[in-house]
Structure 1
Amino acid sequence: MATYRSLSGLAARLIPSDPARRTMSLSTLINTFGNGLFMTIEVIYFTLVVGLSPAKVALALSIAGGVALSVSVPAGHISDRFGPRDIAALAMVLEGLLMFALLSVHTFLPFLLVNIGMAVLGNMSQTMRMATIAKLGEGEERVSIRAYQRAITNFGISLGTVFAGIALAVNTPLGYQLMLAGDAVTFILAGLVFRKMPFMEPTVERGEPISFQALRDKRFVAATALNAINSLHFVLQSVAIPLWVVRETSAPRWWVSVIMMVNTIAVMLFQVAASKGSGPIFAGAKLYRRASLAIAIACILYSTSHGVSAITASALLIVASAVHVYGELIGSAGSWSIGFGLADEKHQGQYQGVWSLSWGLGGTLGPAFVTLMAITLGQEGWFIMAAIFLTNGILMHKLVTRSWISTPV
Structure 2
Amino acid sequence: MAAVEEQGVRWRPGWTRRVFWQAPVGPIYVATLVLSVGRGAWYACWALFFLRSVGLSPAEFGFGITAAGVVGMVAGMPFGYLADRLGPREVLIVVASVQGLATMSLALVGEFWSAMLVTTVVVTVERAAPGIRIAVLSGLTSGADRLKAISNCHVIKEVGAVAGSLVGIVVLVIDSRAGYVALVLFCGSANLAFALLMSRVPHVASLRERKVKRKVLVLRDRPFLVLTVLNGVLALNWGLLDSGLPVWLTTHTQAPPWTMGVLLAFNGVVIVLLLNRFTRAAATVRSAGRLSILAGGTLAVSCLLFATTDGRAGTVVIALLFAAAAVHTLGELFFVGSGYGLSVGMTREEAHGEYQGMFGVGEGAAMMLAPGLLTALLAGWGAPGWLLLGGLFLAAGAGLLLTSRWSIRLERQRATAEPRELQVVA
- TM-score range relative to shorter protein: over 0.9
Partner of 2:37: 33
Partner of 2:162: 158
Partner of 1:350: 354
1:126 offset after TM fit, Å?
2.0
**Matched AA of 1:111:** A
Judge conservation of contact 2:279–2:341 (CA < 8 Å) in 1: no
Question: Which one of 138, 141, 146 corresponds to residue 137 of structure 1?
Answer: 141
Q: How does 1:235-254 map to 2 (within 5 A)?
A: 235-254=239-258
Judge conservation of contact 2:84–2:206 (CA < 8 Å) in 1: yes
CA distance in 2, matches of 1:145, 1:322: 26
Partner of 1:54: 58
TM normalised by structure 1 equals 0.93
Gaps of 5+ in 2: 408-424
- Mark the CA change 1:208 to 1:142 in structure 2 (over 3 Å): closer, same or farther: closer
Judge conservation of contact 2:36–2:160 (CA < 8 Å) in 1: yes
**Matched AA of 1:101:** S
CA distance in 2, matches of 1:81, 1:281: 26
The sequence identity of aligned pairs, in percent, is 24
1:21 offset after TM fit, Å?
2.0
Judge conservation of contact 2:103–2:188 (CA < 8 Å) in 1: yes
Question: Which one of 393, 397, 401 corresponds to residue 397 of structure 2?
Answer: 393
- Mark the CA change 1:8 to 1:395 in structure 2 (over 3 Å): closer, same or farther: closer
Query: Is 1:336 aligned to residue 336 of structure 2?
Result: no
1:222 offset after TM fit, Å?
1.0
1:210 offset after TM fit, Å?
5.6
CA distance in 1, matches of 2:16, 2:332: 22
- Mark the CA change 1:12 to 1:337 in structure 2 (over 3 Å): closer, same or farther: closer
**Matched AA of 1:384:** L
TM normalised by structure 2 equals 0.90
Judge conservation of contact 2:227–2:403 (CA < 8 Å) in 1: yes
1:144-195 CA-partner distances (Å, limit 9, x unpaired)? 2121111111111100111221112222221222111111111100110011
Question: Which one of 75, 81, 94 corresponds to residue 79 of structure 2?
Answer: 75
CA distance in 1, matches of 2:263, 2:356: 31
Partner of 2:387: 383
Q: Which moved more, 1:130-139 or 1:344-353?
A: 130-139
1:300 offset after TM fit, Å?
0.6
Q: Which moved more, 1:236-245 or 1:117-126?
A: 117-126
Q: Is the partner of 2:201 in helix, strand or coil?
A: coil
1:15-71 CA-partner distances (Å, limit 9, x unpaired)? 525522211011101001001111111111221232111221121111111111222
Q: How does 1:51-130 map to 2 (within 5 A)?
A: 51-130=55-134
Gaps of 5+ in 1: none
1:137 offset after TM fit, Å?
2.3
Partner of 2:260: 256
Q: How does 1:275-290 map to 2 (within 5 A)?
A: 275-290=279-294
Q: Is the partner of 2:350 in helix, strand or coil?
A: helix
Number of positions where the alignment pairs a residue of Structure 1 with one of Structure 2: 403
Computed over aligned residues only, the root mean square deviation of the Cα atoms, in angstroms, reads 2.3
Query: Is 1:295 aligned to residue 299 of structure 2?
Result: yes
Q: Which moved more, 1:131-140 or 1:354-363?
A: 131-140
Judge conservation of contact 2:79–2:354 (CA < 8 Å) in 1: yes
CA distance in 2, matches of 1:210, 1:237: 42
Q: Is the partner of 2:366 in helix, strand or coil?
A: helix
Query: Is 1:272 aligned to residue 276 of structure 2?
Result: yes
1:134 offset after TM fit, Å?
2.0
1:271-300 CA-partner distances (Å, limit 9, x unpaired)? 112212311110001111101111000011
**Matched AA of 1:77:** Y
Question: Which one of 364, 369, 372 corresponds to residue 368 of structure 1?
Answer: 372
Judge conservation of contact 1:284–1:334 (CA < 8 Å) in 2: yes
Q: Is the partner of 1:140 in helix, strand or coil?
A: helix
